[in-house]
């Protein structure tokens, strides 16, 4: 097992989680897009194996009614990696990287900035993919009435738009920032 690839049984469990039927965006497609983006920016990671593992686990637990999905995903990653023989410091770092995907603050750690930028790269996707993403998010939250969903969604997207810059890493900023601002303004109706 390389440090950036979960052991086979764990990888299978993760793939099964991302294939759960209630997911529409936080799926294997999202995981694949994140891993592909990381492959392009891997050279910018200080500890690439830990970033890769954090990407594998960052949305492993996704309960639509839950409010601690990141914590549960991070805890699972920590415990599973320790059980697989990964050192305590690396397992804790993966845990901490996953917690950065709560998006409640911009991280100071360079690897966390890269991870968060990759997770948010969908915001700077080409217009057709961004529109698909918006439909996928709405489908995940189909149980939420439109009069509740739409203002909350606009608020979340407005918070991302207010970040200056939105992307903390130079590579992601160069490839995604301008399109993300266009996409977000359009989605918010600004």
Query: What φ, ψ does residue 66 adopt, rounded to 5°?
Result: -80, 155
* In-domain check, residue 109: no
Asked if 106 and 116 touch (Cβ cutoff 8 Å), the reply is yes
Residue-wise pLDDT for 72-127, tens only, equals: 999 999 999 999 999 999 999 999 999 999 998 889 999 999 999 999 999 999 99
Say whether both 152 and 83 belong to one domain.
no
Which tokens hold the place of 55? 């990407």
* In-domain check, residue 18: yes
**Whether the predicted pLDDT of 190 surpasses 90:** no
Asked if 58 and 75 touch (Cβ cutoff 8 Å), the reply is no
* In-domain check, residue 114: no
CA pair distance 48, 82, nearest whole angstrom: 18
Say whether both 19 and 90 belong to one domain.
yes
**Whether the predicted pLDDT of 1 surpasses 60:** no
The pTM is what? 0.95
* In-domain check, residue 10: yes
* In-domain check, residue 110: no
The pLDDT value given to residue 4: 77
Say whether both 62 and 129 belong to one domain.
no
Name the pLDDT band for 3 (thresholds 50, 70, 90).
low
Q: In the chain, how many domains are there? A: 2
Which tokens hold the place of 70? 């990141």
- Choose among 88, 91, 94: nearest CA to 112: 94
Say whether both 81 and 170 belong to one domain.
no
Say whether both 50 and 137 belong to one domain.
no
Q: What is the greatest pairwise CA distance in the chain?
A: 50
Say whether both 137 and 86 belong to one domain.
no
Say whether both 39 and 88 belong to one domain.
yes
Give the DSSP per-residue string, 166-187: S--SHHHHHHHHHHHHHHHHHH
Residue-wise pLDDT for 156-174, tens only, equals: 999 999 999 999 999 999 9
Domain termination site, one of 51, 78, 104: 104
For the segment 23-47, the average pLDDT, to the nearest whole number, is: 97
Asked if 100 and 128 touch (Cβ cutoff 8 Å), the reply is no
* Structural domain for 91, as ranges: 1-104
Say whether both 100 and 127 belong to one domain.
no
Say whether both 15 and 92 belong to one domain.
yes
| Other beta carbons within 10 Å of 83 | 11
Say whether both 50 and 99 belong to one domain.
yes
The pLDDT value given to residue 5: 82
Residue-wise pLDDT for 45-55, tens only, equals: 999 999 999 99
Residue 83: strand, helix, or coil:
helix
CA distances from 62 to 74, 84, 162, 187 (A): 12, 23, 26, 24
Residue-wise pLDDT for 138-151, tens only, equals: 999 999 999 999 99
Place of tokens 């969903």: 149
For the segment 33-40, the average pLDDT, to the nearest whole number, is: 96
Asked if 33 and 121 touch (Cβ cutoff 8 Å), the reply is yes
């Amino acid at each position: 097992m390389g440090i950036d690839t979960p052991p086979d049984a764990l990888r299978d469990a993760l793939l099964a989680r991302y294939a759960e039927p209630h997911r529409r965006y936080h799926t294997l497609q999202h995981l694949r897009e994140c891993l592909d983006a990381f492959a392009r920016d891997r050279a910018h990671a200080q500890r690439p194996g830990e970033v890769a593992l954090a990407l594998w686990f960052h949305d492993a637990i996704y309960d639509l009614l839950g409010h601690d999905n990141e914590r549960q995903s991070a805890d699972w990653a920590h415990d599973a990696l320790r059980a697989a023989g990964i050192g305590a410091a690396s397992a804790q770092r993966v845990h901490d990287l996953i917690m950065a995907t709560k998006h409640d603050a911009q991280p100071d750690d360079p690897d966390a900035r890269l991870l968060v930028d990759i997770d948010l790269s969908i915001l700077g996707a080409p217009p057709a993919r961004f529109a698909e993403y918006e439909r996928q998010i709405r489908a995940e939250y189909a149980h939420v009435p439109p009069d509740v969903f739409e203002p909350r969604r606009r608020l979340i997207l407005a918070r991302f738009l207010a970040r200056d810059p939105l992307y903390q890493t130079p590579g992601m900023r160069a490839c995604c920032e301008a399109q993300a601002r266009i996409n977000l303004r359009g989605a918010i109706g600004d």
